[in-house]
Amino acid sequence: MLQPTTVGDIATYLFFSAGGLFLGGETGLLTGSYSASRTISRDPESRARVETAFRKLRADVLRKEADRLDGGG
């Protein structure tokens, strides 16, 4: 039968903690994204505000990219 070792204990704690951290982080990301999308799609005013902010962000990014390509930055 196998005997527990210090190296095995360290590996077990390391891999289980890393797996739990990954699983918890991904679960939080998915549930948070789902909750945010439900909230945004439920409220038309909020949706319009987010869409306007996103359009302005895209325009700003494109403006900066055009300036960089023209040699201005």
**What's at 61, amino acid-wise?**
V
Higher model confidence: residue 3 or residue 72?
3
What's the pTM value of the predicted model, to 2 decimals?
0.53
- Could you give the maximum distance between any two Cα atoms of the chain, in Å? 71
Tokens 């204990």, residue?
A: 9
Whether residue 2 has pLDDT greater than 90: no
Per-residue pLDDT tens for 16-70?
999 888 988 999 999 999 998 898 889 899 899 999 999 999 999 999 999 999 9
| pLDDT reported for residue 64 | 96
